[in-house]
């Protein structure tokens, strides 16, 4: 329990209700906890008083921080270790789950969202928060997920490493097509979906190469990251690697057109109207699918209308194994959003993945890809 937690409930109440020891201090003079029953596990911890926090971190199969305040999230994401909880987080080698709980404005604050991105990039599994009435009287995102929901997410993990031994190549983010030394054409892709897919794929045990356009996200620690800027650079990075991979997921929003000429000097403001000449970029996804040694190839389709028709057309025309289609320009989901819903199509089937956070939907999509690969092999 942190000092703030103890403002709400006393350690004695927590110990009595749970029947377990309660740890509160980083450096305790005794065995480091309120002891309810002197269990065997606890004796082992007491043997090494000075390193109690390290033992505590190593003993657990999973670390769950619930409720996780904005303060705790900020500390963990920056590697501060000034209390028992933040030290435990830093010393833990097991899977870590965080269930945020805070006022909606604190949750929506850019710095909190950046800290959450960092935690996710470090492999932390985020549960919630939920939307609804808050203790402070406001309404919005920030309610801690129900304990039953937290338990069910814990029990659902960790899935077996069903992609162990496989190599997965993922493209993410937008591209930038330069017009002159100071200007470029780009799009609203944040890269969040591709980065969430990289994390989910790593969790499933695969080796991941992430070819990323310019984004404001922290790269997954265990992925091999290749940073590119233009569609042409992304093409080179992907095509030169694709045959050495088992799966390619094209989640990047690659520019369809690029300026024919990149001016060496800044274009000056002169005429009332001006015209840019653009040329089509090479379709990376379609070319990966044409390779002799092609990986299982998965595309994305972001559409503002006729979602299914366009997705089915891309699946067939680009000769993909699977395509994940999502709406853009709607109130929820799509570009630069924390959430997404996907309609996934393959040769003779489809599945709808309902609106949820991008990490969760990425895990569902990765499971589906593994399932379809097995079927294709069979
Ligand atoms: O045809 P459209 O651009 O809508 O297809 C989207 C899919 O194609 C995405 O998976 C995207 O990564 C991929 N794509 C590509 N190279 C391009 C354009 C799109 O790989 N030049």
Residue-wise pLDDT for 21-47, tens only, equals 899 988 764 444 554 443 434 444 444
Query: Can you list the domains of the chain with their CATH numbers?
Result: 5-155 (3.40.50.1950), 167-258+276-377 (3.40.50.10300)
Strand pairing of 224-227 and 207-212?
Answer: parallel
| Measured distance CA(93)–CA(108) in Å, rounded | 29
Place of tokens 């890269």: 191
Q: What is the pLDDT of residue 38?
A: 38
Name all residues whose Cβ lies below 6 A of ligand 1. Answer: 171, 231, 250, 252, 254, 256, 281, 283-285, 299-301, 314
CA distance 163 to 184: 38
What is the sign of the dihedral through the CA atoms of 304, 350, 359 and 213? Answer: negative
User: How much is the pLDDT for 154?
Assistant: 81
Distance 359 CA to ligand 1 centre (A): 22
Under-50 pLDDT residues of the chain? 29-32, 35-49
Q: Determine the atom of ligand 1 nearest the C-alpha atom of 286.
A: 20
Nearest ligand 1 atom to the CA of 284 is 20
Which residue owns the Cα nearest ligand 1 atom 6? 301
How much is the pLDDT for 88? 92
How far is C-alpha 260 from the geometric centre of its chain's CA atoms?
35
Tokens standing for residue 63: 């670390």
What is the Cα Rg of the chain in Å?
A: 24
Res 158: pLDDT: 58
Q: What is the Cα–Cα distance from 332 to 355, expressed in whole angstroms?
A: 8
Angle at 367 between CA 364 and CA 372, to 5 degrees: 125
Q: Which mutation among 250, 298, 307, 342 tests ligand 1's pocket best, with the greatest number of atoms within 8 A of CB?
A: 250
Cis peptide before 129 (omega within 30 of 0): yes
**pLDDT at res. 51:** 63
Q: Which of 189, 234, 252, 302 to mutate to test the pocket of ligand 1 (most atoms within 8 A of CB)?
A: 252
The span from the CA of 337 to the CA of 333, in Å, is: 5
Going by C-beta distance under 8 Å and a sequence separation of 6 or more, which residues neighbour residue 138? 103, 104, 105
Cα(182) to ligand 1 centroid in Å equals: 26
Nearest to residue 36, comparing CAs of 53, 19, 49?
19
Read off the pTM: 0.67
How many Cβ atoms from other residues are within 10 Å of residue 268's Cβ? Answer: 8
In degrees, rounded to 5, the angle at the alpha carbon of residue 98 between the alpha carbons of residues 94 and 104 is: 170
Please write the tens of the pLDDT for every residue from 182-192: 999 999 999 99
136 assigned to active site: yes
């Amino acid at each position: 329990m942190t000092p703030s937690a103890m403002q709400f409930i006393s350690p004695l109440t927590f110990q009595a209700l749970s029947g377990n020891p309660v740890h509160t201090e980083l450096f305790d003079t005794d065995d480091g906890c309120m002891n309810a029953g002197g269990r065997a596990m606890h004796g082992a911890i007491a043997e090494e008083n000075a390193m109690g926090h390290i033992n505590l971190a190593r003993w657990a199969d999973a670390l769950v921080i619930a409720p996780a305040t904005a303060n705790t999230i900020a500390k963990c994401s920056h590697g501060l270790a000034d209390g028992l909880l933040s030290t435990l987080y830093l010393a833990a080698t097991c899977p870590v789950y965080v269930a945020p709980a805070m006022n909606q404005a604190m949750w929506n604050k850019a710095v909190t969202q950046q800290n959450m991105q960092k935690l996710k990039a470090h492999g932390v599994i985020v549960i919630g928060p939920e939307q609804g009435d808050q203790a402070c009287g406001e309404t919005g995102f920030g309610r801690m997920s129900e304990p039953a929901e937290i338990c069910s997410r814990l029990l659902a993990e960790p899935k077996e490493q069903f992609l162990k031994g496989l190599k997965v190549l993922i493209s993410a983010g937008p591209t930038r097509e330069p017009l002159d030394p100071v200007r470029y054409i780009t799009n609203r892709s944040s890269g969040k979906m591709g980065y969430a897919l990289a994390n989910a794929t790593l969790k499933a045990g695969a080796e991941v190469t992430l070819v990323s356009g310019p984004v404001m996200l922290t790269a997954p620690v265990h992925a091999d990251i290749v940073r590119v800027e233009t569609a042409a650079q992304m093409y080179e990075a992907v095509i030169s690697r694709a045959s050495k991979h088992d799966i390619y997921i094209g989640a990047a929003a690659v520019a369809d057109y690029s300026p024919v000429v990149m001016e060496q000097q800044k274009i000056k403001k002169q005429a009332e109207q001006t015209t840019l000449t653009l040329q089509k970029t090479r379709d990376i996804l379609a070319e990966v699918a044409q390779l002799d040694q092609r990986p299982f190839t998965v595309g994305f389709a972001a559409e503002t209308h006729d979602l299914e028709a366009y997705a089915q057309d891309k699946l067939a025309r680009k000769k993909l194994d699977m395509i994940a289609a999502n709406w853009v320009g709607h109130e929820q989901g799509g570009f630069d959003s924390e959430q997404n819903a996907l309609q996934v199509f393959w040769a003779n089937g489809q599945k709808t993945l309902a609106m949820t956070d991008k990490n969760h939907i990425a895990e569902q999509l990765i499971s589906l890809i593994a399932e379809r690969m097995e079927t294709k092999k069979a």
